[in-house]
Structure 1
Amino acid sequence: MSGTGPPRLFCFHHAGAGTSGFARWQRVLGGSAEVVPVLLPGRDARFHEPRITAPERLFAELFDRLGPLLDRPYALYGHSLGGLIGYHFARVVETAGLREPSRVVVGAVLPPHLPSPLLPAAFPPDGQLLPWLVSYGALPAEALEGGPGGIWQRRVLPTVRDDLLLGQALRALERTPLRVPLVAVAGLDDAIAPTGPVGQWRHYSTAGFRLETVQGGHFFVREREVAQLLTGVMDGVGAEVRSKSSSV
């Protein structure tokens, strides 16, 4: 039996982050969706839990937490690392025979067949990792403040490193097109995931693809424009659900 209520929008955060980037989304999306930010272990309220670096543990975690919430239509949005998580979660949901998402939306992330500057074969050592990430715009300049004993070095760096290891492992998994529509979102000023390469996500769906652009750099997730874009996506999901219900 399907649950009642608006479609759900599950949101996966970028490397080193928590769910604060999605904090205002429910206000923007209103009744078009129930926004469900997905917090991975090792940060914020789950700080004392071991972080995830292996895809198998990631999928077990997501099935455990999200499985009971797949009782009504839903979509996925993933930002940067979260985009890889969303894409692969949709794949394993298809394989498991569970309710598939109505849409998968990936933002600020290159498709897994393209090399990513943030996911090299080997990462710099800890002493060089923060400056390296700042140079790519993956962390703000204030990450370099405080030196080796600063909060970024002590609290943020270990989380970022483990999240990037998870990203490497996800990129190495099998790549198959989804059976559901896919939307890719690129920031016009994003040097990490530029518009052209992001457009190659078109090869990852057999059910339709759309490329959208928004103002901003790699962290456009914090801006209102992407939430407004997703309002349109979720309105479309809701309309499809209502159409199917009326035809039954």
Structure 2
Amino acid sequence: MRRIDRIADELTAELLGRVEPGGPHWALFGHSFGALVGFEVARRLLDAADAVVDGLIACSMPPPHLQADQLPVASDGDAELLGWVRAAGGVDEVLLDDPRFARWLAGDLRATLACRRSYQVDRLVPLDCPVLVAAGAGDPEVTDDDLEQWRSCTNADFERVTVGHGHFFLRNHQQSLLELIADRLTRWRSVRSSST
């Protein structure tokens, strides 16, 4: 798929198909491109009658209304795409040295860029759930201002944190990230319970 709206529509339909009235609450997590998908799925779930979204955790991505102007590479050539992943530390070198894997990964990255290019937010409608934005220190893909701009994506609580270093901080700081997520899920649920 090369459009975020189609990806979000299918994921939302799948999630809603698994929910009975009064069923589970959702919290969404997305890293990099996944943060945009997470935002769109949260928006759709919040519009659904029986879904409850406790919060969105968006990592290492400019906010939806700014992302199109900040693509990580200028061209779709294999060498540039794989060079970006190698420089960002996103994939183990042994995998990048495998020609079949490298071809597959370049194709996947091309599709991701196509999604980002076609994704335009003409009018940002903030989410009615908390948003936590996390990034690694020194991430070349996002600036502090980019991360702060996520504040306009919610009508509820907003928080921004730094975890580890770099764009793929979650590879080396998984435990810290999991503890952060567990803490925020508990907090969001507590706030929601006390307000109902």
* Same fold, judged at TM 0.5 (above): yes
Per-residue deviation at 1:232?
0.8
User: Is 1:73 aligned with 2:28?
Assistant: no
TM-aligned CA distance change 1:201 to 1:191, over 3 Å: same
8 Å CA contact 1:90–1:104 kept in 2: the answer is: yes
Task: State how 1:48-127 maps to structure 2 within 5 Å.
Answer: 52-70=1-19, 71-114=23-66, 115-118=69-72, 123-127=75-79
- Given residue 192 of structure 1, which amino acid in structure 2 is its aligned partner? E
Find the aligned partners of 1:168 and 1:239 in 2 and give their Cα distance.
Answer: 38
2:187 to 236, 239, 245: 236
> Partner residue of 1:194?
143
Distance 1:244 1:208 in 2: 14
Structure 2 distance, partners of 1:60, 1:221, is 27
Shift of 1:97: 3.9
- Give the residue type in structure 1 aligned to 2:178: A
Percent identity of the aligned residues? 26
Matched, 1:206 2:155: yes
Equivalent residue in structure 2 for 1:155, among 101, 104, 119: 104
Deviation at 1:98, TM superposition (A): 4.4
Partner secondary structure for residue 202 of structure 1: helix
C-alpha RMSD over aligned residues:
2.5
**Conserved? CA contact 2:54–2:192, under 8 Å:** no
Aligned to 1:15: none
1:177 aligns with 2:106: no
- The aligned amino acid for 1:212 is V
Report the TM-score, using the length of structure 1 for normalisation: 0.66
Q: Identify the range of structure 1 (236-245 vs 161-170) with the bigger mean alpha-carbon deviation.
A: 236-245
Give a deviation string over 1:77-96, Cα, whole Å, max 9, x none: 11111110111111222334
Instruction: Give me the whole-angstrom Cα distance separating, in 1, the residues matched to 2:120 and 2:3.
Output: 12
Structure 1 unmatched ranges of 5 or more: 1-51
* Closer, same or farther: CA 212–171 of 1 in aligned 2, 3 Å: farther
| Aligned-partner Cα distance in 1 for 2:146–2:4 | 24
Q: C-alpha displacement at 1:214, in angstroms?
A: 0.9
Counterpart residue number, 1:217 = 166
Structure 1 position 167 matched with structure 2 position 116:
yes
Answer whether contact 1:180 1:208 (CA < 8 A) is retained: yes
Q: Which amino acid aligns with 2:3?
A: A
Give unpaired runs (5+ residues) of structure 2. Answer: none
Q: Is the 8 A contact 2:90 2:168 kept in 1?
A: no
3-state SS, counterpart of residue 51 of structure 2:
coil
The alpha carbon displacement at 1:132 in A equals: 4.1
Structure 2 vs 1, CA of residues 218 and 196 (structure 1 numbering), >3 Å: closer, same or farther?
same
Of stretches 169-178 and 59-68 in structure 1, the one that deviates more from structure 2 is 169-178
